Structure 1
């Protein structure tokens, strides 16, 4: 039986610990993978700060690229029906719906399942499905998809959960029409995925509000036409003025919130044109509240759309995006920092300080 090291958060505010535990032989529809890269998401950092409900000691990480080590006897394909074998590279986000609730079966929207497993464990003998680990156990019912040999794994993990999240959000938005003006608040992986998808959809002007400079530069490489640096526009009034100037005083047809900061909500509404749409994607783990004047929404015919998580098809689409566009766009270069597993805390701290474009943990890296 394999023994795997795992990065465990025991309590908010406590440093991440490295635990060890066995990884059992897969049964039925289970799969064991060796983790090659685990994306470090801003939500992981929010867990360490206690800004997300903490379920107890948990293996961190919900973005994974790994190589199949062993298949259960019932497994011969991935969740798109593609043949799978030991040695193949796969991509997964460890959220397993129950398939036995109103959201899963009536709404047919597993992203709303109240029983999604976050990969936590309270017993060190329990195999993790999370990704800050040397080996992960993917249980039957947890979707994973094969990464084609012609696709760099960095091009997939660069956006981690952000690309499927944004694909889901764009679907809920109803798409972007050719030539529409778009503003993206934030330029972390979610914001960068939004920029890229807006450009591929045929958006006209794409203005990105965020920082630091290295992320804004990547936003331009992925399709932004103009950027507003938080360092140069430190208050909401100056940022709103910059956006209105960039959109000829009208505001944006589509504003996409990807900041993770609740104060961005009111600011984004002020950037939205009459008849426009405001898509909220980044506030999943943001504590706090914001005032809203309903009359503004009413009289300007605004649409406010929330979107959280994703569905299995969006993970598959994320692989296809990487496969078809990594030659044209610098997707793999979004991965700016790599850390070994025993430096998981340093990786989280670097993300919290916004020193990275995208950080990944490489368990086999020393």
Structure 2
């Protein structure tokens, strides 16, 4: 493959303004660096909030967005031989990768939780010259970034959700299992039917939940939730009253509530509602909150419920690996490719962002194959 000198990329230059398509020079590939040709770049809620300027974290502008990418290796640095699992890498292989973690800070070296790295270099949040964003024809993978090969039997559409939502869910449920594991037959309520919620429903069912109740909208996402293992759904477009939703959950759980409630909506007021859906002594797993909005909450609710609350964000390369392994062995059991609801061209990036913001798409992807 002839590698060009520049790559077309969609660049966020100003918050709440359309992204601009520009040509970005392709960096030299040395050491353990990798240059990839992007196949699919998924859009997620973080991209929407980042583009609007409502994300809790702010990054230098301009930047190339897109942090969930599946791509094909077009050039390997001479020192990059294998992926994180020891699999040999070659030009033509498809890979995915985590953010770049330093390996030396307290959270990397002592806590062994690199997704909390103090010196994190993020893909999808960097200035254009670094070419470290998926909304681009080509992307540059740093020499220090760990990568994982995508199994040959897994399609691009099946894998792209691993790039953010699924790996985040895998990390969150690992934390859950270490503290308050899902018991065989437990009831689980998922708040939110976006990709995080859908993968949470899938994971809860795979871990032995007796019933998984998904509370969210629109109807198309709830239909996919049922195909991925949800035993009941509550459409918030139809059941608009919080008390009515709580009664429906109580009716499904012998009047006690769910052993586990998972917040995946990203909607701050959902936090209070979640405690009303939980059994006494239950667990609240929070994955979806990305905005620093404030709500009123009484700590007495925590005491009264004897509740355990777990917060979890992001993930490490091991969670990519585990998510891809799950896909490899379960892709015929669940229609994993249906997470992708529409393909867009790079020049249609602003249309894709608008569609995701409206909730029209489950997972919009920029297709550059």
**Residue aligned with 2:221, SS:** helix
Alignment of 1:207-226 (within 5 A): 207-226=213-232
C-alpha deviation, 1:159, in angstroms: 4.6
User: Residues of 1 paired with 2:237 and 2:154: CA distance?
Assistant: 36
> SS at the partner of 2:248?
helix
Distance 1:246 1:19 in 2: 53
Residue 202 (structure 1) shift: 1.2
The 5 Å alignment of 1:265-284 reads: 265-283=271-289
Contact 1:67 1:87 in 2 (8 A): yes
C-alpha distance in 2, partners of 1:299/1:31?
Answer: 53
Against the structure 1 CA distance between its residues 192 and 59, is the aligned structure 2 distance closer, same or farther, given a 3 Å change threshold? same
CA contact (8 A) 1:159 1:193 kept: no
| Counterparts of 1:252 and 1:226, CA distance in 2 | 13
TM-score by length of 1: 0.95
Which residue, out of 133, 137, 147, partners 2:136?
133
2:82 is aligned to 77
Distance (Å, rounded) in 2 between the aligned partners of 1:255 and 1:138 = 36
Alignment check: 8 A CA contact 2:76 2:90 kept: yes
Tell me the equivalent position of 1:294.
299
Query: How many equivalent pairs are there?
Result: 360
Residue 334 (str. 1) matches residue 339 (str. 2): yes
From 100, 108, 129, give the equivalent of 1:104.
Answer: 108
Q: Which of 17, 26, 39 is 1:36 aligned to?
A: 39
C-alpha RMSD of the superposition: 1.3
Q: Do the aligned partners of 1:159 and 1:190 also contact (CA within 8 Å) in 2?
A: no
**Aligned residue for 2:187?**
181
Deviations 1:207-258 (Å, cap 9, x if unpaired)? Answer: 1000000000000000001100011111322222221122121110000000
- The equivalent residue for 1:346 is 351
CA contact (8 A) 2:126 2:133 kept: no
Q: Where does the alignment leave 5 or more consecutive residues of structure 2 unmatched?
A: none
- Alpha-carbon distance in structure 2 between the residues aligned to 1:148 and 1:167: 18
The residue that corresponds to 2:207 in the other structure is 201
Distance 1:92 1:106 in 2: 22
CA distance in 1, matches of 2:120, 2:248: 40
Q: CA deviation at 1:160?
A: 3.2
Deviation at 1:323? 0.7
Question: Does the residue aligned with 1:324 lie in a helix, a strand or coil?
Answer: helix
Q: Secondary structure at the match of 1:158?
A: helix
3-state SS of the aligned residue for 1:172?
A: helix
Mean CA deviation greater in 348-357 or 98-107:
98-107
Partner in structure 2 of residue 150 of structure 1:
153
2:14 is aligned with 1:18: no
Contact 2:68–2:161, Cα closer than 8 Å, also in 1:
no
**Distance across 1 between alignment mates of 2:23 and 2:119:** 26
C-alpha distance after superposition, 1:125-171 (max 9, x if no partner): x2322211100010012121111211112111135311110000001
3-state DSSP class of the match of 1:65?
strand
Structure 1: gaps (5+ residues): none
Please state how far the C-alpha of 1:205 moved relative to its aligned partner.
Answer: 1.3
Residue 231 of structure 1 pairs with residue 205 of structure 2? no
Once residues 313 and 306 of structure 1 are traced to their aligned partners in structure 2, the CA distance between those partners, rounded to angstroms, is: 19
Aligned: 1:319 with 2:327 = no
Report runs of 4+ in structure 1 exceeding 4 Å deviation: none
Taking the aligned partners of 2:360 and 2:272, their CA distance within structure 1 comes to: 26
Matches within 5 A, 1:162-181: 162-174=165-177, 175-181=181-187
Distance in 2 between the 1:190 and 1:157 partners?
13
SS across alignment from 1:48: helix
Once the two structures are superposed, residues 38-59 of structure 1 have per-residue CA deviations (whole angstroms, 9 ceiling, x without a partner) of 0111100011111113322110
TM-score, with normalisation over the residues of structure 2? Answer: 0.95
- Matched-pair contact (CA < 8 Å) for 2:158–2:327: yes
1:328 aligns to what SS in structure 2?
coil
Deviations along 1:12-49, whole A, 9 cap, x unmatched? 11101111111123100100000000011110001111
